[in-house]
Amino acid sequence: MAIIRPMRLADLKEVVKIEEASFPRPWSANAFITQMANDASICLVAEVDGHVVGYTIATQYVEVWHLLDLAVHEDYRRRYIATELLEQILELCGQEAHRGYTLEVRKSNRGAIKMYEGFGFICTGLRKAYYSDNGEDALIMWKDSEDMLA
Ligand SMILES: CC(C)(COP(=O)(O)OP(=O)(O)OC[C@H]1O[C@@H](n2cnc3c(N)ncnc32)[C@H](O)[C@@H]1OP(=O)(O)O)[C@@H](O)C(=O)NCCC(=O)NCCS
C-alpha cells in the first residue's frame, strides 16, 4: 500500500528519474518546480518504503482540471498505484467548483486509456501528430465533474 502525499522539492530526484524512464520527451526538474509553485496545481506522489514510486499532477485552467502528468516506476506497475494517485487527485480536484477533467494520451497507450476509461473518462477528440518525437496522435479524454451529473 502506497502513501499518497503532496510532492516536495526533496522528491524531485526520484520523480525526474521515473519521468525520464517513462516518457520519450520527459519533463525537466524545472517543469515540476513550476507546477509545485503554481497555486492552481496539485502535485502528488506515491511513496513506498520511503521512496517515491509514482506521481501525478493536475492544474486548473478556465474551470477545467487538466491532468498533466502521471507515471509509476516500472518495478511498481500493475499494483494499483496509479489508481490510488488518480483517486486522490480527482477527490482533491473535486473540492473546487469545476466543469470537468481533461487529459491527452498517446493513441497507442492502451493500458493508460483503459485505466482512464475505468475512471469514467471518455474519448472526445484527437490531436493529430501531437507528439513530436514520433508524430503520434493524442486522444483527448474528458470526464464531467460530479456536480454536472447531479
Ligand atoms: C499508465 C501507468 C501510469 C499505470 O500505472 P499502474 O500503477 O501500473 O496502473 P494500475 O495498476 O493502477 O492499473 C489500473 C488498471 O489500468 C489498466 N492498466 C494499467 N496499465 C496497463 C497495461 N500496461 N496494460 C493493460 N492495462 C493496464 C488495467 O485495467 C489496470 O487494472 P488491472 O491491473 O486490474 O487490469 C504506468 O503504466 C506508467 O507509468 N506508464 C508510463 C507513463 C504513462 O504512460 N503515463 C500515462 C500518460 S497519459
Decide: 109 in ligand 1 pocket, CB within 6 A: yes
121 C-alpha to ligand 1 centroid (Å): 14
Decide: 83 in ligand 1 pocket, CB within 6 A: yes
* pLDDT value for 128: 97
Per the CB < 8 A criterion, the answer to whether 105 and 142 are in contact is: no
Strand pairing partners for 55? Answer: 45, 71
Q: What are phi and psi of 39, to 5 degrees?
A: -65, -20
Strands of the 51-61 sheet, one edge to the other: 3-6, 41-48, 51-61, 64-72, 100-106, 138-144, 122-127
77 C-alpha to ligand 1 centroid (Å): 7
Q: How far apart are CA 133 and CA 62, in angstroms?
A: 29
Decide: 112 in ligand 1 pocket, CB within 6 A: yes
Let me know if 131 is a catalytic residue.
no
* pLDDT value for 150: 53
Domains, the chain: 3-149 (3.40.630.30)
- Beta carbons within 8 Å of 131's beta carbon, 6+ residues apart: 24, 25, 106, 137, 138
78 C-alpha to ligand 1 centroid (Å): 6
Q: Over its length of 150 residues, how does the chain's per-residue pLDDT go in tens digits?
A: 899 999 999 999 999 999 999 999 999 999 999 999 999 999 999 999 999 999 999 999 999 999 999 999 999 999 999 999 999 999 999 998 889 999 999 999 999 999 999 999 999 999 999 999 999 999 999 999 987 665
From 115, 139, 141, mutation site for ligand 1 pocket: most ligand atoms within 8 A of C-beta: 115
* pLDDT value for 149: 61
Q: How far apart are CA 139 and CA 113, in angstroms?
A: 9
* pLDDT value for 80: 98
Catalytically annotated residue among 19, 84, 101, 116: 116
The model's pTM: 0.97
Residue in the block written with cell 483527448: 140
Alpha-carbon torsion (9, 94, 115, 34), positive or negative? negative
**Which residue's C-alpha comes closest to atom 37 of ligand 1?**
77
Report the b/e string of 24-34 with b at 16+ CB within 10 A.
Answer: eeebeeeebee
Question: Side-chain half-sphere of 26: how many Cα atoms within 13 Å?
Answer: 14
